[in-house]
Amino acid sequence: MQPDEIQSTEQLLPLVYAELRRLAAHKMASENPGQTLQPTALVHEAWLKLGGEQNRNWQNRNHFFAAAAEAMRRILTDNARRKLRVRHGGGQQRVDLDECATFADSEADHILAVSDALEKFAKVDPQRAELVKLRYFVGLNFADAAEVLGISEPTAKRYWSFARAWLYEEIRSAR
C-alpha cells in the first residue's frame, strides 16, 4: 500500500511513526538541556491531538504531515506556556536570578514568540506559515517540506527566506 493511498490514521501511523519520531528527536535536540518533553512523548501527544484511535480520513501522507506539524507546534507552545506559568510559584528551587534569567526561559519565550507571530503570519500567508510549521516545529528539511506542500524546493527556500524576515520583524516589533 502506497502512503498516498492511505485513508485512515490507523493505517498511516505505522508507516510514518519512525519518521515522526526521528523528526521529533531532531527538534528536541535543539531544546535547552533539562527538557522534560521527550521525542516519543511529543509524537504520542501529536497522535492523540490528531484523533488518536478515531478513524480520521487523510487525503494523503502530505495531509497527515501538515496536521502533525500543527499538532507538534501546539504541543510545544503549550509546554512553553506551562513552563512560564510554573516560574510564578509552582514549587521552584531557589536559584540566583542572574544565572537563570536568560537561560531557563529563553527557549520557552522563543517558542511562544514564534508561535504568536506565526498565528499572525498565517492570516497573511497561510502556505508560507505552513512551511514554517513544517521546518521549525517538525524539523523537516526543504525537500520534505516542499513535497508536503506540493511546491518545488527552490520555491520552499524562497518562501522560507520571506517567512523568516516577516517573523523576525513581527517578533522584534512585539518586544
DSSP 145-164: HHHHHT--HHHHHHHHHHHH
Q: Where are the domains of the chain?
A: 3-174
Burial (0-12, 13-18, 19+ Cβ within 10 Å), 88: exposed
What confidence category does residue 160 fall into, taking pLDDT thresholds of 50, 70 and 90? very high
Rounded to the nearest 5°, which phi and psi values hold at 8? -115, 160
pLDDT digits (tens, 9 = 90+) for 39-94: 788 887 887 777 765 556 777 778 878 888 888 888 888 887 777 765 555 444 44
Which pLDDT does position 143 carry in this prediction?
A: 93
pLDDT digits (tens, 9 = 90+) for 123-140: 999 999 999 988 888 888
Q: Quick one: DSSP state of residue 6? A: -
pTM: 0.55
The torsion defined by the Cα of 12, 18, 21 and 27, in degrees rounded to 10, comes to: -110
The answer to whether 114 touches 167, Cβ cutoff 8 Å, is yes
What confidence category does residue 2 fall into, taking pLDDT thresholds of 50, 70 and 90? very low
How many residues can be counted in the chain? Answer: 175
